[in-house]
Structure 1
Amino acid sequence: MSSSDRVSRGASVQVSASILGCDLGRAASEAQRAVKAGAGMIHADVMDGHFVPNISFGPDLIARVAAVVEVPVSVHLMVERPERLLQAFLDTGADRFIVHPEATPNVRRAIDLIVEAQASPGICLNPGTPVSFAEALLDHVDEVLIMTVNPGWGGQAMLPEQLNKVRELREMIEAGEIHDMDLSVDGGIGPATAREARLAGANILVAGTALFGAPDPAETVRQMLG
C-alpha cells in the first residue's frame, strides 16, 4: 500500500491533530494520545523562518511520529522552495505533503515529486491569497488547505472571512465533479468554530491548541465533529 492509499480522501468530517500545539519533546506520545481521543489524522507544520517567521521542526521528529500512529500523517511545508527540501520529508513515512503555491514558482514540480514518491499531494492558501491560485491545480492535488489565521504561530483566533474561500472552493469542487477532494481549515479551529467550518464545506478540521490543551481531548473531538 502506498502512502497515498492510506489517506481517506473526501470522506466524512474528521479532526486532524496539529502537533505544533503539543509538547514537542513528547511529540510521538502526544500524537498517540490525540489518536486515542479520536483524531483521524496527524498534522505536522514545518516552518523555515523565511516563508513564515517561526521555525518548528524537521524530518526526524515527523518520522518518529509517523512510526507510532496508525492514522495518516500530513506534512504542511510552510517553507520557501519546498521542492528543494521535499526529499528529506518524503522519507519520513508521512502520507500527505502540502505545499504553498505562494512559496515557489515551480509548484507543479513540487506536486510531481510528491506523486512520484507515491504520496498524496495538497496545496495551501494563506489568508491573503485568492482562490484563483488553487483553481488550476485542483485536478492535480488531493487536498486544499485554507489557512484561517496568518501562519507562523499556534493559538490564534480564527479569521471568519476566510470561510468564504472554503465555500467558494467547495462550489468549484462540486461544479467540476472533482471526486475524493479534501477541503481543510487550519487556524483557530476548535469546538466553538468547527461547526461553522463544517457548514462552509470543510471536511478536515486541523486543531492544535484546542485539542492538546483541552482537559478532555476526546470530548473536544466529539464536539468538533458535531
Structure 2
Amino acid sequence: MKMIAPSVLSADFSKLGEEIKKVEKGGADIIHLDIMDGRYVPNITFGIPVVESIRPITELPFDAHLMIVEPEKYVEDFIKAGVNMISFHMDATIHSHRLVEKIKNLGAKAGVVLNPATPVNTLEEIIHYIDYVLIMSVNPGFGGQKFIPQTLQKVKKLKILMEETGRTDILIEIDGGIKEENIREVSAAGVNIFVAGSSVFKAENPAEAVKKLKEKVRFIEV
C-alpha cells in the first residue's frame, strides 16, 4: 500500500481550497496537516478553525501531525473538526498510551512520531497499540528542508521491530524532503505513506507533481 499525502504547509493559503482540489485531481490519497504551536517547534502554523473550514472541500482523509505540547488537550477537537489520523510526539505528552487510546476511542487512527535523533527502540512499549509511525526525515518545524539520508536505516530498523513484535500491519509514514529523485529508494525501504510539501505545492502543476510521485512508487511493494 503506497499513498501520497501532500502537506498543505507548502500550499498557498490565500487559495487553500483550490490547492487541495489540485492535488486531489492528481490522485492524492491523504491531506497532511502540519500543526505547530511555536513551543514544541519554533514555528506556528494553523489550528482547528482552518481544519473545519477545509473539511467540506474534500472527502480525502485528513492526517494531522501535532507538533504541539500537551496534544491530549486538543485531539478531541481536531477529530470533531474532521481529522481522521493523528500523530504526536511522545516527548510532548506524559501519558502516551492513554493518548493513543483516547485517539482510537474517538474514531481516528493513532500514530507516533520519531524525530531524526529519536531512536526506534523508543517505540518498544507503544508499538502494540498504534496504527502508524511517522518518521521525520528532516527536523520538524519548517518545510523545504533536505532529506536526511540516515533516515532509511531508521525505516529498516522499524521494519525489524515490527517483525519482532508481530505488528507488520503498522503503516510507516515519512515526512521531509520527499521528491521524485528519492521517493523510489525511500519506498523500497518499506515506507507506505509519503508526505510531500514543497515538491508538490511549489511545482508549476501540483496535480502533475502528485501523479509523478505516484507513478514512481506504483510497482514497489515490500
* Same fold by TM-score greater than 0.5: yes
**Which residue number in structure 1 is paired with residue 219 of structure 2?**
none
Q: Deviations over 1:98-138 (max 9, x none)?
A: 11112112111221211121111111111111111122211
Q: 2:57 is paired with a residue of what secondary structure?
A: coil
On the 8 A contact 1:190/1:220 being kept in 2, the answer is: no
> In the aligned structure 2, how far is the partner of 1:32 from the partner of 1:218?
9
1:193 corresponds in structure 2 to 182
Deviations 1:171-192 (A, max 9, x none): 2223433243210110001111
AA in 2 matched with 1:108: H
Task: Give the aligned partner of residue 67 of structure 2.
Answer: 78
- Is 1:31 matched up with 2:17? no
Aligned partners of 2:202, 2:141: CA distance in 1, in Å? 18
8 Å CA contact 1:184, 1:206 repeated in 2:
yes
Superposed displacement of residue 56, structure 1: 0.2
- Alpha-carbon offset, residue 92 of structure 1: 0.7
Match of 2:119 in 1: 130
Partners of 2:76 and 2:63 in 1: CA distance: 15
Contact 2:22/2:207, CA 8 A, preserved across alignment: no
CA displacement 1:143-182 (0-9 Å, x = unmatched): 1000000110000011111121111112222343324321
Aligned to 1:93: 82
Q: Is the contact between residue 127 and residue 148 of structure 1 (CA under 8 Å) also seen in structure 2?
A: yes
- Residue matched to 2:140: 151
> Does the CA-based 8 Å contact 2:24-2:207 persist in structure 1?
no
SS of alignment partner, residue 128 of structure 2: helix
1:46 and 1:77 in contact (8 A); partners too: yes
Q: Distance in 2 between matches of 1:117 and 1:26?
A: 31
Give the 3-state SS of the residue equivalent to 1:163 in structure 2.
helix
Indicate whether 1:20 and 2:34 are aligned: no
Instruction: Count residues in correspondence.
Output: 215
Following the alignment from structure 1 to structure 2, what is the Cα–Cα distance between the partners of residues 216 and 27? 15
Query: Of 30, 36, 39, which aligns to 1:50?
Result: 39
Q: What SS does structure 2 have at the residue aligned with 1:139?
A: coil
**Which residue of the other structure, out of 179, 199, 203, is the alignment partner of 2:192?**
203
Q: Quote the sequence identity (%).
A: 37
Gaps of 5+ in 2: 217-222
Superposed CA RMSD in Å reads 1.4
Cα distance in 2, alignment partners of residues 222 and 28 from structure 1: 19
User: Are residue 40 (structure 1) and residue 29 (structure 2) matched?
Assistant: yes
User: Are residue 160 (structure 1) and residue 153 (structure 2) matched?
Assistant: no
Cα distance in 1 for residues equivalent to 2:155 and 2:212: 21
Which residue identity does 1:18 align to in structure 2?
Answer: S
Matched AA of 1:35: E
1:214/1:220 contact within 8 Å kept: yes
Residues 27 and 61 of structure 1 are in contact (CA less than 8 Å); yes or no, is this contact kept in structure 2?
no
What TM-score results when the alignment is normalised by the length of structure 1?
A: 0.90
Q: CA deviation at 1:73?
A: 0.7
